Structure 1
Amino acid sequence: MTSSMTIAVDLAKTVFEIAVADADWRIVERHRLSRSQFQTFFFNREPAPVVMEACGTAHFWGRWLTRLGFAVRLIPAQAARPYRRRNKNDAADAAALIEAARNAEIIDVPVKSSEQQAIQGLHRIRAQWMATRTARINNLRGLLREQGINIPVGAATAVAVAPTLIDDESVPETLRTALLEIVSEIRALEARMKAVEAELKRYAASSRDVQAIQQVPGIGLLTATALVAAVGSPDNFRDGRHLAAWMGLTPRHTGSGHRMHLGGISKRGDRYLRMLLIHGARSVLIRAQINAKAGRALNRLQQWAMDLKQRSNHNKATCALANKLARIAWAVWAHGRDFDGNHAVAIAA
């Protein structure tokens, strides 16, 4: 039988703050526990609703508590923050979670599986290596430019021609060894990123969800695996519009009374996932432009993107197309259908 108590947990690395509220939401117990004490605490309690902030280690503890029979809710950090009163401390944060749990309008964060977190970890590692690679290439460009040598545009080209340029007599001997080390580091980073991509390909080969989403134009291996890892299931969103809003691809609304203003995209949610979708939308739009110039027929999605570009501009059309791609991906994923660029035309017929 589930307890009428609600347990709020403020997570940390070594010290856990716990607040227990009764059926009237009054805090009747407070505990400050170490990691071992924290586990013992739940081993000795009957199952009850547990509220935690969706932060570091929350998904791990969510899975652990679920196996013990507790009903776990993960509250988004930005939703719990307004309920904290006065000074910020662990006890105040736990009390804020109790208050946030009473708000039925707050949408919980689904507890991620270990596999989802593993795929997200691969993406984060690759993104960090990508940022380091870009920094090393920029460093290489700057140092060579100081010696009067310009590297051609393009990361792949820069790495390919760098050793030859470093051997130029205008580069001091004392600098050459260090520059060659930078080139070696860049190539090592590229090899590591390829290894991560190979691991993602193996995951995609065994995931029907990833394969289904990859049918959508502009969504490749990275975007599809990142989307499945972040979302888990399309059932976590009411429809594709809510998924696009969760990724920050819908306009910001401001106004009062009868005056409403739609601004730029909200840029809320997962920034990495939004970046991947926008890059994919840009490639779809460019492909549509190439097809139009070549006199090739455009499907309905491409024609919609081209018409929007004519009415606004390239960047606005790209963001709007990214929004549409997110909604299409949800529909393909949720309904188990193959992508059709003329889907709406087929329905109208």
Structure 2
Amino acid sequence: MNFKVITIDLAKNVFQACGVNEHIKPQFNKKLKRNEVLDFMRQQAPTTVVMEACYSSHYWGRELNKLGHDVKLIPAQHVTPFVRGNKNDHNDAFAIAEASQRAHIRFVPVKSEHQQEISCSHRIRERLVKNKVSLSNQIRGLLSEFGVIFSSGHKALVTGLECFVGDAEYSVRLRNMMTDMLNEYKGILKCVKGIEQQLHEFVDTSENGQILRSIPGIGVINASAFLAAIDKGQAFNNPREFAVWLGLTPRQHASGNMNKMGGITKRGDRYLRKLLVHAGRSVVSRAVKNDDPLSKWATKLRTTKPFNQVAMAHRLARLIWILLSRQEHYRVMPAAQEA
């Protein structure tokens, strides 16, 4: 039997599959164990399979694509309004089918294994950086109790610790503890550098990576993170949609003749938005030294809005989508030509 849509409510061990016809009437809604999912879908004629973009969804999307199905991933927040009755797997699976038929739903592209590997590298690096900062603060706090103060900065901490562990003025117990902490700190730094080297290799061998590197403020970390998340930006129809997805557009509250614009919505991926804001901050800090149109725009904006990193991040987001969709490198034009 052919179904218009088959939806799967993902889980760790017990899945819920629901098939609907062209009138969105459920034809079956059954539980499947993890080892039964692929066998069951192999028996179905190629059709559209919809799942929530959540835990393990990209893996299942790749596996079902191999079976000839057209897999679509739908953001979980768009499914919630369509859940009728109590919250259970049976109702969730049917809600996914109803939500997938809405006209303005934007589906999430299925990521390749390579994209997910790069995303994993970023998550591991982010955790290591947090551990490094935490360890650095603990070292400084502990040694301050003994009257030892280091200057701010990574190099000052490492140099100061190396001098401290060799100073016979302090007890052997304290110096041994600091030696262990110094080795731990250096181990974290080594792991971070190893991950960054892998990201460099990924960006250097990618044409899209070179396109993103040509944009002011976009470095290896930003370029690799955005390529792993959006590829060429094919999930978005225009640059504004991409900026909205990142949560860099104002929050609107309107009714009748009343229209209020607030701060940014902060929707989407917090990590990507943070990277883009840092990129905007770097562009703004160097804008005074340059005379290209982007720098002049940032300098002009700075006179009216002192904290304009978010505005620059919004503009960089639009540049990212435009250049990836056109497959063009960023070209710096003199201000006279723009005029």
Query: In which range does the TM-score fall when normalised by the shorter chain?
Result: over 0.9
Tell me how far apart the structure 1 counterparts of residues 197 and 29 of structure 2 sit (CA, whole Å): 48
- Superposed CA offset, 1:5-50 (max 9, x none): 3211111122111122222212221221112111111111111211
Tell me how far apart the structure 1 counterparts of residues 313 and 239 of structure 2 sit (CA, whole Å): 12
Compared CA separation, residues 13 and 151, structure 1 to 2 (3 A):
same
Counterpart of 1:230 in structure 2 is 229
Counterpart of 2:124 in structure 1 is 125
Answer yes or no: is the 8 Å Cα contact 2:107–2:235 preserved in 1: no
Shift, 1:260, TM fit: 1.3
Compared CA separation, residues 255 and 343, structure 1 to 2 (3 A):
farther
Tell me how far apart the structure 2 counterparts of residues 331 and 258 of structure 1 sit (CA, whole Å): 34
Q: Which amino acid aligns with 1:342?
A: M
Gaps of 5+ in 2: none
1:340 aligns with 2:331: yes
Counterpart of 1:102 in structure 2 is 101
The TM-score, its normalising length taken from structure 1, stands at 0.91
Q: Which amino acid aligns with 1:76?
A: P
Shift, 1:155, TM fit: 2.8
Counterpart of 1:305 in structure 2 is 298
Counterpart of 2:84 in structure 1 is 85
Shift, 1:255, TM fit: 2.2
Shift, 1:171, TM fit: 5.1
Counterpart of 1:174 in structure 2 is 173
Counterpart of 2:193 in structure 1 is 194
Counterpart of 2:111 in structure 1 is 112
SS in 2 for 1:243: helix
Shift, 1:309, TM fit: 0.9
Compared CA separation, residues 170 and 16, structure 1 to 2 (3 A):
farther
The TM-score, its normalising length taken from structure 2, stands at 0.94
Tell me how far apart the structure 1 counterparts of residues 172 and 28 of structure 2 sit (CA, whole Å): 70
Gaps of 5+ in 1: 292-296
Tell me how far apart the structure 2 counterparts of residues 235 and 18 of structure 1 sit (CA, whole Å): 28
Compared CA separation, residues 184 and 69, structure 1 to 2 (3 A):
same
Tell me how far apart the structure 2 counterparts of residues 27 and 148 of structure 1 sit (CA, whole Å): 72
- Superposed CA offset, 1:90-122 (max 9, x none): 223212212211212111111111111111111
Answer yes or no: is the 8 Å Cα contact 1:301–1:342 preserved in 2: no
Counterpart of 2:317 in structure 1 is 326
- CA RMSD in angstroms comes to 2.0
Q: Which amino acid aligns with 2:26?
A: I
Counterpart of 1:294 in structure 2 is none
Tell me how far apart the structure 2 counterparts of residues 343 and 54 of structure 1 sit (CA, whole Å): 44
Q: Which amino acid aligns with 1:177?
A: N
Counterpart of 2:59 in structure 1 is 60
Q: Which amino acid aligns with 2:292?
A: N
SS in 2 for 1:234: coil
Indicate the larger mover: 273-282 or 82-91.
82-91
Shift, 1:287, TM fit: 0.9
Answer yes or no: is the 8 Å Cα contact 2:115–2:228 preserved in 1: yes
1:162 aligns with 2:171: no
Answer yes or no: is the 8 Å Cα contact 2:247–2:264 preserved in 1: yes
Q: Which amino acid aligns with 2:295?
A: Q
Answer yes or no: is the 8 Å Cα contact 2:243–2:314 preserved in 1: yes
Answer yes or no: is the 8 Å Cα contact 1:147–1:170 preserved in 2: no
Q: Which amino acid aligns with 1:332?
A: L
Compared CA separation, residues 248 and 210, structure 1 to 2 (3 A):
same
- Superposed CA offset, 1:263-288 (max 9, x none): 11111111111111111111111112
Counterpart of 1:136 in structure 2 is 135
Q: Which amino acid aligns with 1:334?
A: S
Counterpart of 1:48 in structure 2 is 47
SS in 1 for 2:45: coil
Compared CA separation, residues 86 and 140, structure 1 to 2 (3 A):
farther
Answer yes or no: is the 8 Å Cα contact 1:218–1:280 preserved in 2: yes
Shift, 1:58, TM fit: 0.5
